[in-house]
Structure 1
């Protein structure tokens, strides 16, 4: 891959744009009112599916790139990371009943370790990693931003985003492929069964 200054600047800008898009979307989703409870969480899943998929594409590009090496030996001070606990709490409320999911921590471990994760925790952890790199980028430390995003993709947020994506895909599949719970239909089905049983008994 080309690594000259112009190409690197354009590449960093594309990654930064995707990072911003993800952060804006997650914050907007977390800010939704929770009047309808679980339905609001389900309604947000297609948007999250798109944003997490796009973010993983950016991560894949970072992972495929040669290792970025910061100009300084030690990481520059990017300032304090923002407090995202409020966003985490709002996401937990939004995804009440959907938040926890099971995940294989390391598919190559013997035996594989099953962990219980939370969408709210994972989305917040991903956002924290991305915000840290974005601070470097917005302060003009382009290579350091790319280094951080690449390093944290391989070490933390890449795996977390992949797990979140699988969980969201599963929720959408359950919602769209499983028959909806309809009390009236179930009552009608029970009546038909009773009528059929009575007819059999009369024979």
Structure 2
């Protein structure tokens, strides 16, 4: 991307997706409805990862200043994290391969609620720069945090959410969840 107009369009597009993600996550957390939570989170995480992939495909953005301008306090997302954890219950925790290129592979335990809250904090931080008119800083922050954290967190959460949907649709018992079976009560039909 070379022109400031193209950068502005990209930043606006990423900002729109970040806003959509944050609104949806807040609404899912408030809803208390497990049946719609998983499909909605699956959709929103997928869409945000597409925005992140657009950032990852760009050359590195370089902020105008050597030091990040203060955007004010980061949002407190703990209530959303707790609400999602309660909503997802035993489906919140999952195991993933941390880095597929490490030898030997390292398995780590994660929580969808923690990943969604961390992603929300990262994209909200970039959104604060965007709202303040600092396009390059917003793009740099979104790109850097995508590559360093929320891209991996989002990919892991997406895989876990997709697995919940797959098990629910295929009506299979999941090893590690004891007697828990996926049935029509996990995900509501549209």
Matched, 1:75 2:74: no
TM-score scaled to structure 2, two decimals?
Answer: 0.89
Q: CA RMSD in A?
A: 1.2
TM-score scaled to structure 1, two decimals?
Answer: 0.83
Matched, 1:149 2:142: yes
Q: Distance in 1 between matches of 2:138 and 2:172?
A: 46
SS of the residue aligned with 2:2?
Answer: coil
Q: Distance in 2 between matches of 1:43 and 1:69?
A: 39
> Which residue number in structure 2 is paired with residue 3 of structure 1?
2
Matches within 5 A, 1:51-130: 51-130=44-123
Instruction: Compare the two structures and name the one with the higher helix fraction.
Output: 1
Q: 1:43 deviation in Å? A: 2.5
Q: 1:22 deviation in Å? A: 0.4
Q: 1:179 deviation in Å? A: 5.7
- Give the number of aligned pairs: 174
| 5+ residue gaps, structure 1 | 34-39, 182-203
Q: Distance in 1 between matches of 2:27 and 2:137?
A: 28
Larger Rg: 1 or 2? 1
C-alpha spacing 1:12/1:92, structure 2 compared with 1 (3 Å): same
Q: Distance in 2 between matches of 1:151 and 1:44?
A: 28
| 5+ residue gaps, structure 2 | 174-180, 182-190
SS of the residue aligned with 1:23?
Answer: helix
